Chains A and B, each alone.
Chain A
Amino acid sequence: DAGVIQSPRHEVTEMGQEVTLRCKPISGHDYLFWYRQTMMRGLELLIYFNNNVPIDDSGMPEDRFSAKMPNASFSTLKIQPSEPRDSAVYFCASSLRAPGQSGNTIYFGEGSWLTVV
């Protein structure tokens, strides 16, 4: 079975440019999560969706970050304009059940490694 698919795997961009990260969740999973990983802060939740609707975006750093989920099989995380401090690994993850629901498991993609110079 295909897991969570992310693209691009690696991106190097100049400060001020727009960055778009893409994610395809596991088919049938109703929940989609975007996480950011840095050495200093570890894995942080940015936003998550249920049935394509954003549920909690309190982790989104600032207005430069936006996320959308136009359909059940696709989501984007956009940074505009990008800054060097946005350099991190961005993970998309999906799950079948709601956070905290018994038996729930979250599966991660391989990440998008972003470097802003």
Chain B
Amino acid sequence: GQQLNQSPQSMFIQEGEDVSMNCTSSSIFNTWLWYKQDPGEGPVLLIALYKAGELTSNGRLTAQFGITRKDSFLNISASIPSDVGIYFCAGHSGNTPLVFGKGTRLSVIA
């Protein structure tokens, strides 16, 4: 089945720094979604991407659907303490259900 490789696994950054994380797949995807999970909560959708090359922003977050359709990245600018959490990429290949990366655990040092 499809596999998603998400990196880095964890990040420790200073408040105010920019963050970048990415996801690659072994097959072509037609949808990329980025979620954030806070401790004790379920994943919350941040950004959805539906077309190759699409670049979408949500506040300080920006995500892109790679041209090859096998990768996506998420950037967070000017990080703040509430950005702490686990970020997951997820995607659809064809009409298969959503598959998830293993997550990037973000820690922000004030």
Q: Which residues of A contact B (CB under 8 A)?
A: 4, 33, 42-43, 45, 48, 56, 91, 98-111, 113
Query: What residues on B are CB-neighbors of A103 within 8 Å?
Result: 50
Q: Which residues of B contact A (CB under 8 A)?
A: 30-31, 33, 35, 40-45, 48, 50, 88, 90, 92-103
| CB pair A100 B50 closer than 8 Å | no
Residue from A4, A42, A45 within 8 A of B98 (CB atoms): A45
Q: What's the count of A-B pairs with C-beta under 8 Å?
A: 57
Query: What residues on A are CB-neighbors of B31 within 8 Å?
Result: 100, 102, 104
Give CA–CA (A104, B33) in the complex, Å: 10
Q: List 9 A-B contacts (CB under 8 A).
A: A4-B42, A33-B98, A91-B43, A99-B96, A100-B31, A101-B95, A102-B30, A102-B50, A110-B41
Query: What residues on A are CB-neighbors of B43 within 8 Å?
Result: 43, 91, 108
Shortest Cβ gap from B33 to chain A (Å): 7
Query: What residues on A are CB-neighbors of B41 within 8 Å?
Result: 110-111
Which of A91, A98, A106: most chain B CB closer than 10 A? A106
Give CA–CA (A111, B43) in the complex, Å: 9
| CB pair B97 A43 closer than 8 Å | no
| CB pair B97 A91 closer than 8 Å | no
Residue from A4, A42, A45, A107 within 8 A of B97 (CB atoms): A45
Closest to B35 in A: A108
Query: What residues on B are CB-neighbors of A98 within 8 Å?
Result: 95
| CB pair B33 A100 closer than 8 Å | no
Query: What residues on A are CB-neighbors of B93 within 8 Å?
Result: 100
